[in-house]
Amino acid sequence: MLFKDNFYTLKSSVKEDESHTYSIQLNPDHSIFEGHFPDNPVTPGVVQMEIVKELMNESTGTKLNLKKMGNCKFLAILNPKTDANVDVILKISKGEDEEIKVSAVIKNAETFFLKMNASYFPA
């Protein structure tokens, strides 16, 4: 995994039926924030999408690749200095053939940072 145990740490996970909630803590001292942006860190959208993919891999026990992005909305700036602890909630379902669909959010108690719907297939 590209970012797990480096960019973020998994604090806990709870699985209920097709929903899986991961509580993670972002690393505000990660080198990515030196360029994005010094003194005002912003978690890049592509990194948030990769976190979802990594946790999908963990949840399904399968290495996945993105097949199709239905929609992806970045609703607020995810600043690791002020919002280091967030939940990643995955609602997973099976599509046709080997397709795995997800409705995902990254949020904390007050704010939604990311909402996305996507399809993945085994690598």
pLDDT for residue 17? 86
Q: pLDDT tens, 76-103?
A: 999 999 999 999 999 999 988 899 999 9
Q: How much of the chain exceeds pLDDT 90, in percent?
A: 89
pLDDT for residue 27? 97
Maximum mean pLDDT: which of 1-5, 17-21, 35-39, 104-108: 104-108
73-94 exposure pattern, b = at least 16 Cβ within 10 A, e = fewer: ebeeebbbeebbebbbbbebee
Q: What is the mean pLDDT of residues 61-74?
A: 96
Instruction: Enumerate domains of the chain plus CATH numbers.
Output: 8-122 (3.10.129.10)
CA-CA-CA-CA torsion for 83, 103, 16, 9, nearest 10 degrees? -30
pLDDT at 41 exceeding the cut of 90: yes
As a whole number of angstroms, the distance between CA 104 and CA 117 comes to 6
The per-residue pLDDT of the chain, averaged, comes to: 95
